[in-house]
Amino acid sequence: MNTNPKIAVFGGGSWATAIVKMLSENLEQVGWYMRSQSAIDYIKENDHNPNYISSATFNVNQLYLSSDINEMVKYADILIFSIPSAFVKTELDKITEPFTSKIVFSAIKGIIPESGLIVGEHFNKILNVPIENIGVITGPCHAEEVAMERLSYLTIACKDEEKAKLVSKFISSHYIKTKISDDIIGAEYAAMLKNIYAIAAGIAHGLGYGDNFQAVLMSNSIREIKRFIKKVHRMKRNINNSAYLGDLLVTGYSVFSRNRMFGNMIGKGYTVKSAMMEMSMVAEGYYATKSAYLLNEKNNTKTPIIDAVYQILYENKNPKTIFKNLTELID
Amino acid sequence: MNTNPKIAVFGGGSWATAIVKMLSENLEQVGWYMRSQSAIDYIKENDHNPNYISSATFNVNQLYLSSDINEMVKYADILIFSIPSAFVKTELDKITEPFTSKIVFSAIKGIIPESGLIVGEHFNKILNVPIENIGVITGPCHAEEVAMERLSYLTIACKDEEKAKLVSKFISSHYIKTKISDDIIGAEYAAMLKNIYAIAAGIAHGLGYGDNFQAVLMSNSIREIKRFIKKVHRMKRNINNSAYLGDLLVTGYSVFSRNRMFGNMIGKGYTVKSAMMEMSMVAEGYYATKSAYLLNEKNNTKTPIIDAVYQILYENKNPKTIFKNLTELID
C-alpha cells in the first residue's frame, strides 16, 4: 500500500469543506472536486468556500481544485466522497476513468435513492470496488465546529485496518481525534438513520414536547438504531460508541442540524413542500426516511419512530395525531 | 397489600413538589412533609410552593401538610422521599415512629454521605426496611416540565412488581407515563451518577468545548455508567432505557440542570466554594462525585470522567489541564 497517497475530496458542501480543512493540516496537496466552477474560482480568489463554513480559510497553493470529476479520479489514490446522497449517482455516472483499484471512503450520510443502497454497498455492488478498499468517515461532528477547530472525534471504518489507519493519520490533528473500526456497514447505516431521528426530534419540538420527552425519544432512537443495524448487518458492536450514539446526539440535540430544523417546521405546521422551499434545500433525513422505511418492510424490525416520521412526510398524516400515537409506542 | 394506601411525599424541593402534583391527579389526599413550617403556611395561603416550581398550583384541601416528620410517617402507608441526599440522614434521625412495615420509595438522586450507601440500601441496611418494600422513582424528568404538564416518562422500580404497579398507578396521568422495573439498585446508581456527568458536561462547556465534544462525552458517560453499575449490581438491564440513558441526557443536555450550571462555573474559572456560594446551594453531583470516586477505589472500574471531576472538585486540580488529559482517555 502506498503510504504517501494522493487524496481527493469530492463535494462542495460544508462537510466536504471541513474534510479538506482536516487534510490540509497534514498533506502538502489536497485534491478537491467541486461541481461548481464558480465556487472554485471564488475559493482561488478568496481562500474560502463562498457557501459553506466560510470561516475556514485555506492556503490555495495547497489545493488541487477541479470541476472535472474524471481529472480528480485520475489524480487521487484515495477518494473521499462527501456529496448529498441524492446527487451521488448523477456524479458517479460522469466517471469514465477506472477507479476499481482506488481506495474509496464515504463521508456521505444517506442511502442512494436509485439503488436503495448505502454508499459503501453501492460502490461495492454496483461499481465493483472491492470491499476491503471501501471505508467510511463518520461523526459526531458538525462541520461548523471543525472550522472553529473545536476538538472533535471521528471514526474511520474500513475492513482493512491498515487503510483505516492510513486515512486516520491524514485526518488527525490538534483538533481532530480519530478511532478506527471495521464496521463500515453499521457506521454508515447509523450515520444515515440518525438524520431521521433528528427530524423526529424537530417534529417533537415543533409540536411543543419538552426536554423530558426529548430524552425519552433519543433513548428509544438509539435502541431502534441498534435493532435496525443488527438486522441489516449482525456483528459485535457497542452501539454506545461515539460513531453511533455520539453521532445521534450531536444531530438530535443540535439546533443547527438541518434535519432537526426541517422536522421543527413540520411540527409547527408547515407542509413538507413549504418546509423544503423555506429551507431552500432538502434535508438528508427526508430521503433516509423513505429508504429506511422501505428496507424495513422487508426486515420487519420494530421501528415506531421511523414509521411515524414516514407517515408524516410521505403519507401526509397529521404530525400531532401521529406523535400522540407514538407516545404510546415508546417507553 | 392495601390497594388504597395513604401516600406521603417527604421534601420541599422542586422534585418533591412535582411528585405531589402527580399524586394529586389521582388521590383524594396527598401527605406532604416539609421541614419548613413557613413554606407550609405559604402553600396553605397561596396554593403553591413559594420556592420551587411555583407555577404548579394545588388544591390545598387535597393536601395533608405537616412539618412534623413523625406525624407524616404515621399517616402514610407509602413514603416517598425526595430530600437532597446530604440532608436525608438528619431527617431520618428525627423519626421515632416505626416504619419498617411501610413501603418506602426513594426519589432521591444521590448517596447518603454518612453511610456511603444509595438511599434504597440505606433504608434496607441501616433502617431494616425489607428489600421488597423499597422502591425507586426515576426520570428522565425536569420538575419544571411536570409543572407545565409536558409529557414525561418515569420509571418505577421495585423488587416487588405489585408495589411498583401500585405506585405507577398513582403517579400516572395524562402527562405522566410510567414504566416498571425491578432494578432498584441500578436505577438509583444511574440517577446518582448522571449528576456527575452533568457537572462534566458543564465543565466542558465552561472551558469552551463544543457540541461535537459534548456528544463524545455523553457517549463515554453512558458506557462508564454501564461499567460502574455492572460492577455494583450485576443483572440484565438495557442501559439505553429511559431510566438510564434518558436520565443522563435530560440532565447532561439541559441548561437548567443545576449540576451542569455548577460545572459550567467551574469550567469558567470559579472555585468550588465561590461557585457554590454564587448558586446558594450545593449541586447533588458534588457529593455524588466523592461517593462514586471512593466506591470505585474498591471496585476499580475504569471511570476516567468521574476521576477527572473528582480531581477538579476535591483535589483542586486545574480544569483545563485535567480535561486536556481526559480527551486522551475517552473516544
DSSP assignments along B59-71, one per residue: -GGGEEEES-HHH
- The CATH number assigned to the domain holding B266 equals 1.10.1040.10
Contact B76, B8 (CB under 8 A): yes
> In the prediction, which pLDDT does A100 show?
86
* Residue B31 three-state SS: strand
**Is residue A175 within 8 angstroms of chain B, CB to CB?**
no
Q: Are residues B225 and B138 in the same domain?
A: no
Share above pLDDT 70 across residues of chain A, in percent, rounded to a whole number: 100
Which of A109-113, A243-247, A317-321 is least confident?
A109-113
**B173 shares contact with chain A (CB less than 8 Å):** no
Percent share of chain B, pLDDT over 90:
87
CATH code of B100's domain = 3.40.50.720
What are the pLDDT digits (tens) for B199-226? 999 999 999 999 999 999 999 999 999 9
What is the distance between the alpha carbons of residues A275 and A318, in angstroms, rounded to a whole number?
15
CB contact under 8 A, B218 and A245: yes
* Number of structural domains in chain B: 2
- Judge: B179–A249 Cβ closer than 8 Å, yes or no: no
Reduce the DSSP state of residue A40 to 3 states and report it.
helix
**Considering only CB atoms, which chain A residues are within 8 Å of B253?**
211, 215, 249, 253
Residues B96 and B177 in one domain: yes
pLDDT in tens, B306-321: 999 999 999 999 999 9
Burial A102-121 (b: 16+ CB within 10 A, else e): bbbbbbbbbbbbeeebbbbb
With a cut of 90, say whether residue B285 has pLDDT above it.
yes
Cα–Cα distance, B280 to B266 (Å, whole number):
15
Cβ contact (<8 Å) for A331 and B145? Answer: no
Q: What is the arithmetic mean of pLDDT over B241-256? A: 93
* Structural domain includes residue B11: yes
- Residue for grid cell 421495585: B158
Active site residue B194: yes
- Residues contributing to the annotated binding site of A for NAD(+): 87, 143, 258
B117, B152, B182 - which closes a domain: B182
Give whole-number Cα distances, B48 to B1, B20, B29, B83, B183, in Å.
Answer: 33, 11, 16, 18, 34
Contact A96, A70 (CB under 8 A): yes
Q: Does A150 touch chain B (CB under 8 A)?
A: yes
Model pLDDT, residue A197: 98
What band does B142 get if pLDDT is binned at 50, 70 and 90?
very high
Cell of B109: 438522586
Q: Are residues A212 and B327, on separate chains, in Cβ contact within 8 Å? A: no
For position A160, what pLDDT does the model report?
A: 97
Look at residue B187 and tell me if it is in a domain: no
When pLDDT is averaged across residues B45-71 and rounded to a whole number, the result is 96
Does residue A278 carry a pLDDT above 80?
yes
Q: What confidence score (pLDDT) does residue A279 get?
A: 83
Domain housing A37:
7-182
pLDDT exceeds 90 at position B115: no
Tell me what the mean pLDDT of segment A157-181 comes to: 97
- Is residue B33 within 8 A of residue B9, CB to CB? The reply is yes
Kindly determine whether residue A145 and residue B212, on different chains, have CB atoms separated by under 8 Å.
Answer: yes
Domain membership of residue A188 (yes or no) is no
Based on the domain organization, do B107 and B147 belong to the same domain?
Answer: yes
Q: Do B151 and A213 touch (CB under 8 A)?
A: yes
Q: List pLDDT tens digits, range A65-94.
A: 999 999 999 999 999 999 988 899 999 999
Q: B282 and B168 in one domain?
A: no
Nearest CA in chain B to A324: B151
* CB contact A324 to B (< 8 Å): no
Distance from CA of B73 to the nearest CA of A (A): 31
Q: Provide the pLDDT for residue B31.
A: 98
Q: Catalytic: which of A163, A194, A226, A290?
A: A194
Structure confidence at residue A135 as a pLDDT band (50, 70, 90): very high
pLDDT band at residue A206 using 50, 70 and 90 as cut-offs:
very high
- Name the average pLDDT for chain A: 95
Using an 8 Å CB-CB cutoff, list chain B residues near A238: 223
What pLDDT is recorded for position A257? 87
pLDDT tens sequence across B320-330: 999 999 999 99
Q: Are A18 and A147 in contact (CB under 8 A)?
A: yes
User: Nearest C-alpha of chain A: how many angstroms from B39?
Assistant: 27
- How close does chain A come to B141, measured CA to CA in Å? 5
CA-nearest residue of chain B to A248? B215
Which value does ipTM take for this structure? 0.95
Q: How far apart are the first and last CA of chain B?
A: 49
Whether B252 and B194 have beta carbons less than 8 Å apart is answered as yes
Q: What is the pLDDT of residues B170-187, one digit of tens each?
A: 999 999 999 999 999 999
